[in-house]
Chain A
């Protein structure tokens, strides 16, 4: 059994196999050297980087009409390409030869190995392993491999982190800001509807639809003489968010690409009570997204609910502060993809902070727990970017959250986020917010359409296409609808039919939204002049009151006072009588 499996006669074959293997090996080696040499030579003579050709092409660019030179370039280019492809063909042929040579060598080596193989000698076989010991070792090895797999997997998970788009899905949990967690406030502690209407908690008032419920709003002031101006305070940083006010506090935001701040002013004196920088929020981008100067990083208006003030910025950072300026909670909702900058303002409803976040990364309306910032509900929307703000209106015994966006306008249950209805009618880049009065909801956008929708049947009752607002939101009150365009046209419609009562041209355009208080409509143009006219079917001017600086913000009304944000200052107009 010590002989080869082929017996002694196999020795000759074994020698032959070895000899063939050696010859084939040498052949393969030679071919291999030739191929590598040719490869290096071809690389060195790269026709794409031929200096001669480049020089000729350079000459040809200067002497474009030289036909002889052109032919020379072509001839040289063709030659270089031929040489290149010939070389490649040479290499390929060499590869085939090499494969052939190595195959012969392998077959020979294989044959030699087979001829050399001996049957085992039973006397020299190792003693049988103890199966128990062998299995124990195998169990340990399998267990160890499993452990290694788990550790490696967890290492990958640990180092890879979360997927970025999770943030768009509302996946990031609310995080207390660096300032520390605040006191949770129960829903019962939130103010009643009457309290909300009696203050100025949102952009465009207590229902965010432009209707003020205060009394004794001033109709005259003079900034130059100071008559009717209670105070004027510089705002530390710029922003286009309008003021909101609660009892003795007025709130604003300001920001640039690096800093985001919230300001609280004394409504009586105009003193800046505190300013709070919003920072250290998990998920907040290191660099603020690019925005246009006319939108900025602090375009949305804040919301207040009597205990807390809420702010949102272009970064998607949302912060809740108490009235002493301490951050209760803060979180990042995902950086809005918005080429002008995020501008939708906030509203609150019975313990929920409602956020319209329609951006390039997806449309969403969030219902966040106002006390903790956690997502209570989120409704995804198939819409384009919207700069509009939601309106919170009372319809019969219920409250609806009206939202304007392209391609559809919609209403949501503010408590659950359920879509109550939607109408596919809107187009273009939507800026104006919805209006509501007497069972009719109004949605408008420049270069697109304005519709009057019966809120019970969701029927489009009427449509209009001329003189539509671009930024300024429509105002509905007493069966009438008022719109103001960026070019200075103010139009009064019959809310039920869309019939035009009057149209008035002004020298300046309007970005601010119209607010009605009592019988008067207040509408500031871009130069800062406050136009006051009667909320009636005939145009009757009441006053035109310059601010002395530009203003694109909507005023806030509180107990006989008007708070107006100019380009640099916050003003309080009034007589001091509530």
Chain B
């Protein structure tokens, strides 16, 4: 670890300690003074709800930022411009908006809206969900490049990036699918917004929060000094959707502005391992062997899907305990059987309400049923994703130039300056301007 890396790591340790001390203060509640006469407590005042217009302003800012990022990546091919816009986005969507509304979290609102007819998705949230996807399907993941505050806060700490071996990159990338499945399951069952509850960076944006999340966030940022954007690459559930959209993008940035001269200079340029190299002229594996492997994986696909569903279906029970109603039902049940003596506040409130226990148990059972169906479905989905990944790793690609992996490329523009053709273009442009 060089001086830069050590200094940055120490800095993040320090900021974590200080933010945590400030954040822990924020959790405390001051009791009212202990006067038993005359003193009149002032009426409690509550902050007003955020003006609706602020949401639309944020949506407008998102559109503007996406348009600017796309222009900078595609037309200007300017890494500096992208970085500058990323800082602006970090300040506005991150620190000013305190990380909310967030496109990453919006997928939970959409999921809940799809599964709970009584939940109305705010238009601004829907906009935050759709706009980055629309831009991705047209221009690639320019949202990740310069607009997402979660990506931006990681990007600014990339100081001593190390390459992650390709095989490990493929394996770790599956984590995002697992996180996506879990987030959808929790949102669809009305259990909660897992992404928001486990957002590692929102505590930084709010200058305080849960110490554990702060520690996790600080840890990710420390790792991010050496492994560029680890959350985006291995965890981000929205990144999965953006990757799917970007895979079919009509206009995606390219490393070279015109033609690839196969100089190999860009080979190490991408910190995210998103540059695909042309294969050697002759594969070292016989075609027959490759076809046989492909056939085996294809045959195993239904097994993986069913197996994933089976595991997911069985995991549903334990996972459902994250649901507050299920948790309460279990507590009430244990209380009634005398297995626990003291009730939690929630338990006391429920008992004091006189609400029928049967309804609570029925509700818990209903949530459990939804978890089971969701567990089977999403477990099957994960099985399919693993099968698809194995298939992708077994298909022989034909490629002549160094190209972007459209799904993995974050459109950050780092690779532009490595290309001699780009340098030539810039030189010509400079001469033209002169």
A469-485 CB mask vs B (1 if < 8 Å, else 0) is 00000000000000000
B25 touches A88 (CB 8 A): yes
- B392 nearest CB across to chain A (Å): 9
The interface residues of chain A lying within 8 Å CB-to-CB of B18 are: 31-32, 35-36, 94-95, 98
Q: Which residue of A lies closest to B268 (CB)?
A: A120
Instruction: Give per-residue flags for A279-293: 1 if the beta carbon is below 8 A from chain B beta carbons, else 0.
Output: 000000111011000
Q: Is A229's beta carbon under 8 Å from chain B?
A: no
Q: Is the CB of A138 within 8 A of B4?
A: no
Rounded to whole Å, the gap between the CB of A390 and the closest CB of chain B is 19
A165/B15 contact (C-beta < 8 A), A120-B265, A134-B167 known: no
Please give, as numbers and ranges, the residues of chain B lying within 8 Å of A384 by CB-CB distance: 356
Cα distance A150–B18 in the bound complex, in angstroms: 39
Residue contact A163 to B321, C-beta cutoff 8 Å: yes
User: Is B295 an interface residue, CB under 8 A from the partner?
Assistant: no
Contacts of A77 in B (CB 8 A): 33
A547 interface residue per 8 A CB criterion: no
A interface, size bucket:
35 or more
Complex formed: what's the CA distance from A151 to B419 in Å?
Answer: 45
Stretch at the interface among B138-146, B244-252, B357-365: B357-365
Q: A25–B7 Cα gap in the complex (Å)?
A: 8
Spot the interface stretch: A139-147, A264-272, A340-348, A520-528. Answer: A139-147
- What is the CA–CA distance of A29 and B10 in the complex, to the nearest angstrom? 9
* In contact, B283 and A29 (Cβ under 8 angstroms): no
A92 sits at the interface (CB 8 A)? yes
Q: Is the CB of A163 within 8 A of B418?
A: no
Contact B207 A95 (CB under 8 A): yes
Taking the closest CB of chain B, its distance from the CB of A476, in whole angstroms, is: 31
Contacting pair A163 B317 (CB below 8 A): yes
Tell whether, in the assembled complex, residue A145 and residue B264 are in contact, meaning their CB atoms are under 8 Å apart: no
The reply to whether the CB of B326 lies closer than 8 angstroms to some CB of chain A is yes
Chain B residues positioned under 8 Å from A286 (CB to CB): 339
Q: Known: A138-B167, A163-B364, A362-B358. Contact between A91 and B156, CB under 8 A? A: no
Residues of A within 8 A of B171 (CB): 138, 141-142, 144-145
Q: How far is the CB of B98 from chain A (nearest CB, A)?
A: 14
A132-B283 in contact (CB<8A): yes
- Contacts A28-B14, A113-B159, A363-B358; A137 near B339 (Cβ below 8 A): no
Is B170 located at the chain interface by the 8 A CB criterion?
yes
Query: Hey, which chain A residues are within 8 Å of B191, CB to CB?
Result: none
Q: Is the CB of A98 within 8 A of B14?
A: yes
Given A109-B7, A165-B333, A165-B364, A290-B338 contact (CB < 8 Å): yes
Q: How would residues 353 to 389 of chain A score, 1 for a CB under 8 Å from any chain B CB and 0 otherwise? A: 0000000111100000000000000000010100000
Considering only residues 9-47 of chain B, those with a C-beta below 8 Å from chain A are 10-12, 14-15, 17-19, 21-22, 25, 30-31, 33-35, 37
User: Contact: B7 with A165, CB < 8 Å?
Assistant: no
Find out whether the CB atom of A289 lies under 8 angstroms from the CB atom of B338: yes
Q: Which residues of B contact A165 (CB under 8 A)?
A: 326, 329-330, 333, 361, 364-365, 368
Q: Give the CA-CA distance A166 to B365 in the complex, in Å.
A: 7
Q: A105 — nearest CB in chain B belongs to which residue?
A: B11
Question: When the two chains form their complex, are residues B170 and A142 in contact, meaning their CB atoms are under 8 A apart?
Answer: yes
Q: Does A294 contact B (CB under 8 A)?
A: no
Across-interface contacts of A36 in B (CB, < 8 A): 17-18, 21
Given contacts A125-B267, A285-B337, contact A91 B25 (CB under 8 A): yes
Q: Which of B157, B280, B326, B336: most chain A Cβ within 10 A?
A: B336
Bound CA–CA A134/B280 (angstroms): 13
A residues near B10, Cβ cutoff 8 Å: 25
Q: How far is the CB of B145 from chain A (nearest CB, A)?
A: 16
B-side interface residues, number (CB < 8 Å): 80
B21: nearest residue on chain A (CB-CB)? A39
B311 adjacent to A132 (CB under 8 Å) = no
Contacts of A144 in B (CB 8 A): 171
Q: Are A141 and B365 in contact (CB under 8 A)?
A: no
Interface secondary structure of B, over-half rule: helix
Find chain B residues with CB under 8 A from A132 CB.
283-285
Q: Cβ of B267: which chain A residues have Cβ within 8 Å of it?
A: 120, 125
How many whole Å from A48's CB to the nearest CB in chain B?
Answer: 7
B300 to A: closest C-beta gap in Å: 10
Stretch in A154-162, A205-213, A394-402, A548-556 touching the partner: A154-162
Question: How far is it, in angstroms, between the C-alpha of A48 and the C-alpha of B29 when the chains are bound?
Answer: 11
Q: Which residue of A25, A287, A382 contacts B337 across the interface (Cβ within 8 Å)? A: A287
Interface residues of A in 272-312 (CB under 8 A from B): 285-287, 289-290
The complex places the Cα of A48 from the Cα of B32 at a distance, in Å, of: 10
Residue B162 CB within 8 A of the other chain: no
Of the residues B7, B307, B356, B393, contact of A138 by C-beta under 8 Å: B393
Contact A140 B167 (CB under 8 A): yes
The docked-state distance in angstroms from the alpha carbon of A551 to that of B414 is 92
Shortest C-beta distance, B226 to chain A (Å), equals 12
Inter-chain CA distance A288–B221, complex, in Å, is: 53
Q: In the bound complex, what is the Cα–Cα distance between A361 and B364 (angstroms)? A: 11
Q: Does B320 sit within 8 A of A, measured CB to CB?
A: yes
Which single residue of chain B is at the shortest CB-CB distance from A88? B25
Q: Is A423 an interface residue (CB 8 A)?
A: no
Q: A163-B330, A165-B333, A335-B337 are in contact. Are A131 and B17 (CB under 8 A)?
A: no
Q: A99 is contacted by which of B4, B167, B207 (Cβ under 8 Å)?
A: B207
Instruction: Write the nearest CB–CB distance from A36 to chain B, whole angstroms.
Output: 7
Interfacial chain B residues near A92, Cβ < 8 Å: 22, 207
Question: How many Å lie between the Cα of A168 and that of B156 in the bound state?
Answer: 54
A57 on interface, CB distance cutoff 8 Å: yes
B318 and A160 contacting across the interface, CB-CB below 8 Å: yes
Q: Which residues of B contact A96 (CB under 8 A)?
A: 207
The answer to whether B174 has its CB under 8 Å from any CB of chain A is yes
Instruction: Say whether B311 contacts A154, CB under 8 Å.
Output: yes
- Minimum CB–CB distance from A74 to chain B (whole Å) comes to 7
Are the C-beta atoms of B386 and A142 separated by less than 8 Å? yes
Check: B394 CB closer than 8 A to any chain A CB.
yes
Question: Would you call A68 an interface residue if the criterion is a C-beta within 8 Å of the partner chain's C-beta atoms?
Answer: no
Q: CB of B78 within 8 A of chain A?
A: no
A502 to B15, CA, bound (A): 89
B302 surroundings in chain A (CB, below 8 A): none
Partner of B334, one of A57, A107, A164: A164
Report B-chain residues with C-beta under 8 Å of the C-beta of A137: 165-167
Q: A28-B11, A289-B336, A337-B336 are in contact. Are A164 and B330 (CB under 8 A)?
A: yes
Q: Is the CB of A142 within 8 A of B365?
A: no
Q: Identify which of residues 225-281 in chain B touch chain A, using a CB-to-CB cut-off of 8 Å.
A: 263-265, 267-268, 277, 279-280
| A88-B25, A134-B167, A154-B314 given; A110·B14 CB < 8 A | no
If A28-B11, A74-B35, A164-B330 touch, does A361 touch B357 (CB 8 Å cutoff)? yes
Q: Indicate if B160 sits at the interface (CB-CB under 8 A).
A: yes
Q: A106-B157, A361-B333 are in contact. Are A131 and B19 (CB under 8 A)?
A: no
Say which residue of B8, B170, B393, B394 sits within 8 Å of A106 (CB atoms).
B8
A21 at the interface (CB under 8 A from B): yes
Interface string of A25-45 (1 = CB under 8 A from B): 100110110011001000000
Confirm or deny: B390 has a beta carbon within 8 angstroms of a beta carbon on chain A: yes
Tell me whether B167 and A141 are in contact (CB under 8 A): yes
Is A79 among interface residues, defined by CB-CB distance under 8 A? Answer: no
Contacts of B307 in A (CB 8 A): 150
B85 to chain A, nearest CB (A): 15
Residue in B closest to A32 when the chains form the complex, CB atoms: B14
Complex-state Cα separation, A135 to B290, whole angstroms: 11
B429 to A: closest C-beta gap in Å: 17
Q: Which residues of B contact A134 (CB under 8 A)?
A: 166-167
Q: List 21 A-B contacts (CB under 8 A).
A: A57-B34, A99-B207, A106-B11, A113-B159, A122-B264, A132-B285, A134-B166, A135-B394, A137-B165, A137-B167, A138-B393, A140-B167, A149-B178, A156-B318, A157-B314, A165-B368, A285-B338, A287-B337, A287-B339, A361-B333, A362-B357
- Additional A-B contact list (8), CB under 8 Å, known A81-B30, A119-B418, A153-B312: A32-B17, A48-B31, A70-B35, A77-B33, A110-B159, A150-B307, A153-B311, A165-B329
Nearest 5 Cβ contacts at the A-B interface = A160-B318, A362-B358, A141-B171, A137-B167, A138-B167
